[in-house]
Chain A
Amino acid sequence: MKLSLPAIAYLAVFFYLPFAIVVAYGFGYPEFTLKHFFEIFNPIYAQFFLNSFIIAAITTLLCLLIAYPVAYYIAVKSKKWKNTLLILIILPFWISFLLRTYALMAILSKFDLLFTFTAVIIGMVYDYLPFMILPLYASLEKLKVSVIEASYTLGAKPLETFYKVMVPLSKPGMVAGCLLVFVPALGEFVVPTMLGGVSITTLGTLTWDLFIKYHNWWRGSALSVFYMIIVVAAILYYIKRVGRLEI
């Protein structure tokens, strides 16, 4: 216990205390008011919220649709290529979004797609896809081939097997993947700025503007508190749904 004190003290001062300060500013420090929360729900910001939600939702859906067959292939069909494919899925986790988005930017500019909504979606899917494939792979890996074969033997058609056997059994992976993509995607800042330019405004770009450009700590903090509530709600939902938090 004693040995853990330096680390705990460090996190208390440089992680938890800063969050407490954000909450305090959100409530109008040094006074106490709720007006900053009303300010962020001002209709002029509606577009930011809407854009973020639409981008995060489309990204999550596309990632799920693309990742499922790929994860299934790696988990069940890949045989001797399995380790190579797994390494290739894990490798992007070691490269920052900034670099990966920059790499994509070079190609998108060749196709004249830069600074469009399409570019942002392509970039989001590009960056977040591994976050969907990995948890899906983990849950499909546990699914025995014999279970699928049993379903066929019992007369189920491929589509039926998919809906009635595979989907229910891989649900924990789907829930984990969707949350791992949707929640950070809501607050994503790098991709919309680099690939969307000034035309695509999201919660991430709004946070940047409020803090870095306008130094509006109070409104920025209120926005941050709101986002944190969504994050915490997502985590609690996951724990309730899957029963535990595994990292």
Chain B
Amino acid sequence: MILKILTVAVFAFLYVPIIYLVFSSFYDDGFTFRNYEAILNDRNVTTAFFNSLNVAILSTLISVILGTLAAYSFKKRGHFLESLFYPPIVIPEITEAVALLLFFKMLEFPLGYYSVLTGHIAFNVAFVYVVVYARASSIEKSIEEASYTLGANEFQTFTKVVLPLLMPGIVAASLIAFTLSWDNFIKTAFTTGPGFNTLPLLIWSQAARGVVSPSINALASLMLLISIVLSYLYVRISIREE
């Protein structure tokens, strides 16, 4: 009984702030959509929205291609280089962020869209690799061997046999990669330059000064909604797979 009360209390602690945030985004002397209208008409918000979307889509696409190829090739033959894919996941983001910042400074590479994108791909590749690799190792070798026996070459075997089998893993990895990039803050903050804003940076610029405003509540709620939808899709896929 005590356990049950405690568990309920902990879940309330985790979710009340989020629910409160969403409620207050619709509140301004009564129920209203005004906060949402305000952010949709704000040029800064729309620009940042498309920047975020752009970086998230491109970094997902590139990292999925690189990560899937690597997962497939290591699944066929293990190699000590495999372990190169784990540190980007384990190491605290802030150390990676300062490392990238120094790297770009040293090359005198202008900070902005390309530096942010480059950084996002770096951690996404590692996450895609781990997720797709898990899927790849569940594919039995005999299936590929059958494909070769039936006369398919390596390319055909990959596109017509392996890729369809990897698909659930690739979709799951894409969802993770997109989400990580979409609401990434720390690495973006360290590697961005003047004029390139994403939605998390926009929220930060207000929130870091302790400002809680109705329009930021609306923006945060929208971002929250997107994260929840993506995670819901992910759960659906992984449940179906089981």
Residues of A that sit less than 8 Å from B by CB: 1-4, 6-8, 10-12, 14-19, 21-22, 25, 66, 69-70, 72-74, 77-78, 85, 87-88, 90-107, 109, 114-115, 126, 129-130, 183-184, 187, 189-190, 193-194, 197, 204, 207, 211-212, 217, 220-221, 224, 227-228, 231, 235, 245, 247
Contact = CB atoms under 8 A, between A and B. Distances in A.
| Closest 9 A/B residue pairs (Cβ) | A18-B99, A3-B73, A94-B231, A7-B70, A96-B183, A18-B103, A4-B70, A7-B66, A103-B17
Contacts of B73: 1-4
Contacts of A12: 84
- Chain B binding surface, main DSSP class: helix
Nearest to B158: A3
Contact of A19 (B99, B189, B204, B208): B99
Contacts of B69: 3-4, 6-7
B185 A96 contact: yes
Contact of B102 (A74, A90, A221): A221
16 contacts: A2-B73, A6-B70, A11-B88, A14-B118, A66-B6, A69-B6, A78-B7, A88-B14, A94-B179, A95-B183, A98-B204, A99-B227, A101-B207, A109-B212, A194-B210, A204-B94
A21 B105 CA distance: 11
A109 B210 contact: yes
A211 B190 CA distance: 9
B141 interface: no
Given A1-B79, A14-B122, A73 B4 contact: yes
Contacts of B96: 15, 18-19
A22 B99 contact: yes
B48 interface: no
B216 A102 contact: yes
B98 A106 contact: no
Given A19-B95, A99-B223, 15 more contacts: A3-B73, A4-B74, A6-B69, A7-B70, A16-B84, A18-B96, A18-B99, A18-B103, A66-B6, A70-B10, A73-B7, A96-B200, A103-B20, A126-B13, A227-B94
A25 B105 CA distance: 12
A193 B122 CA distance: 26
Interface residues of B, number: 78
Contacts of B195: none
Contacts of B177: none
B3 A73 contact: yes
Given A14-B118, A22-B99, A74-B7, A99 B183 contact: yes
A224 B98 contact: yes
A12 B87 CA distance: 12
A212 B14 contact: no
Contacts of A87: 235
B186 interface: yes
B194 interface: no
Contacts of B15: 88
B17 A21 contact: no
A6 B204 contact: no
Contact of B81 (A4, A90, A96, A193): A4
A48 B89 CA distance: 26
B212 A18 contact: no
B66 A6 contact: yes
A175 to B, nearest CB: 15
Contact of A91 (B72, B91, B228): B228
A207 B96 CA distance: 12
B3 A227 contact: no
Contacts of B77: 1
B24 A7 contact: no
A197 B210 contact: yes
Contacts of A126: 13-14, 17
Nearest to A204: B94
Contacts of B118: 14
B18 interface: yes
Given A73-B7, A104-B17, A3 B70 contact: yes
Given A190-B186, A197-B210, A17 B103 contact: yes
Contacts of B189: 212
A189 B85 CA distance: 25
A220 B105 CA distance: 14
Contacts of B220: 99, 102-103
B95 to A, nearest CB: 5
B90 A247 contact: yes
B125 A231 contact: no
